[in-house]
Structure 1
Amino acid sequence: MRTRNVSRTVLTASAAAVAALIVTSCGGPASVAGSGGGNKLHVYAWAGEIPKSVVKKFEAETGIEVTLDTFDSNETMTAKLSSGSAGYDLVEPSQYSVQQLVGQKLIQPLDHSRIKGLDNLADKFRDPSYDPGNKYSVPWIWGTTGFAYNDKCISSATSWQTLFDKQYKGKVYMLDNMLAAYIAGLQVTGARATSTDEREINAATKALENQKKHLAGYNSTNYPQLLATGQACAAQAWSGTAMAKVLAANANVHYVIPEEGGSIWTDGLAVPQNAKNTDAAYKFINFTLRPEIAAMATDDGGSASANAKAREFVKDRSSLENPAIYPTDEAVKNADFLLDPGPAMKHFQQGWTKVKAS
């Protein structure tokens, strides 16, 4: 299952700094180094996001042998590509990571003449803000950042303000993740989640400092279970399998994309600059763009597919009604794609240090 659903890693340091720390201990897999040939494909993806069923079906249909390695953060993936010896033909970066990889020239522009099915993508994933024209990546799955609440404690909630309300002191959790916390801090103070304005970041920092006095804590692991048992009244949350399971099993728990906007994240496929098996890479991209294959990301992986036509092929129809998997278009109309803050990262880092120390 997608362990990442309760441990999504959002940028907490510049990619260059993180790469310098990680690259010395993270080499490419021995099975990949120096490999070549048209009948092999080496993929580096988020743990659980490309189901084994998809890989097996691709292998059976094409005769291409797939080696699938997994990571648990964009920073780990970036570090391996930076090492120059990873040997991968496809990687699965999140949206802000696509921007960083492009800046570091670690992924190559896609040859759209070799891709079929881009028109199957939902509108919000065609020509997205983080990758205009889908020049470097093809979205595979997506999700949101919002919050969840237990109606035995809170009758109804639609705003980030709920997580900042002192009447729920000791019963509210925030994600233990810098930029995820700042999504709420920025939006609750009237800014966009994509803001890089120092004054707006400082205002968000103050809001988060004040909020911390009332929090039960920061939690990126078992908050869905705390909500289910009533130990938490509300918690900032990521959508996905773990949250969706709690909603399906417990009618008292509700997942909300706040009226201030929340955010959308997406993970897609990109071709590394030094990929050797590019023919196989494009075959896999085209394979995943087929609606019936994209639907397997939901049925077998518990994630929302970026492929609009995949909905017709989803076997578990209840998934389409679960807001922790497929929120409505209305719910995400004001959601931002979280982007790479660039030089403004230092303001977030400085602010987060103050929040944690308060």
Structure 2
Amino acid sequence: MQLDRQGLADLALGAAFLGSGGGGDPYYALLLAEAEFDRHGPFEVIGLDDLADDALVVPVGWIGAPTVSVEKLPNGREAVDGLRRLEEIMGRRIDAVIPIEIGGSNGLAPLFAAARLGIPVLDCDGMGRAFPESQMAIFNIRGLSACPSILTTACGALSLIETDDNLMHERLARALSVAVGGIAHLTEYPLIGRQARDHAIHGTVTAARDVGAAIRQARESGQDPFAAMFAALAATGLYPHAGVLFDGKIADIERETRGGFSVGRVRFESFDGASRMELEFQNENLIARRDGQVVAMVPDILTVMDRETAESITTERLKYGQRVKVVGAAAPAILREAGALEFVGPRAFGFAQDYVPIEEIDAWLKP
């Protein structure tokens, strides 16, 4: 598959939804990707079956608080600098890159590095959505090491992280990102081709592009973009259940940047004032309660969207008075396994309850 300018815009639109409110707004990443497209032409995206067993594959993405990324822009070289240094450490050329998470800005993060290095992007990622912490990647859940890892910044600083404890890797990388201004680029979980094929979540780049294309095409033809998006999500095979959980306006928002994260809660009211919803977030939206009852929880996807355009609104861009729909979607099955829920389920975020799939809470989501 090749991504042209339209494909990039569709990917950004779909990745914004899959970010569950996080991963960073893809606007600036799209600008950088479009600039590389103008220089180098379409981006090459290949399937995992086209990858050699011994190929070197590297996930990339940004770490930090999305609220900071709105004001502290990248220089465009962070990923390239990190990948070049990793090549020096490992003594070989990198053969392909992938997004550490398909959500938000990080869904596009590998593109400009791939263009500059002349290598493809693989049609997969490490989370199937966005999560706030590095150890929440499927590669850690499957027992792979995050290191050697390279953290780079817009000012040109570079840090090598080496530890055999992936939780410690997250803590070190988070502390470094705070020290350099709240946002940094991270190259992590270097893989060989066989590991990528066995453990990465397949087809997510294509899925994000297709979801974005469905929204765009529906808007262009005057159709319902939400219905088109739900059909596209189901067609991916990764996100089989989706629907609108709330329709109303933002009545209140609490948000702060703390410990390298954007954390807070947002409250919604229906237009007739009869119903309310509350979302809690840590970069990403984590749990939704409608009139006091939980209706969806992590790892399932929760995204706030403009109710007219189906444009996703990341947590750092939520504002009082926005007229929105809160949309829920089932997470990929791999994230619902017992071993994965230890890292990405509600208890991993401090909520005192076990995970219940969104389609069991909201049975009407089932086809």
TM (normalized to structure 1)? 0.33
Structure with more relative contact order (C-alpha pairs < 8 Å, separation 6 or more):
1
Which one has a larger percent strand, Structure 1 or Structure 2? 2
Name the larger-Rg structure. 1
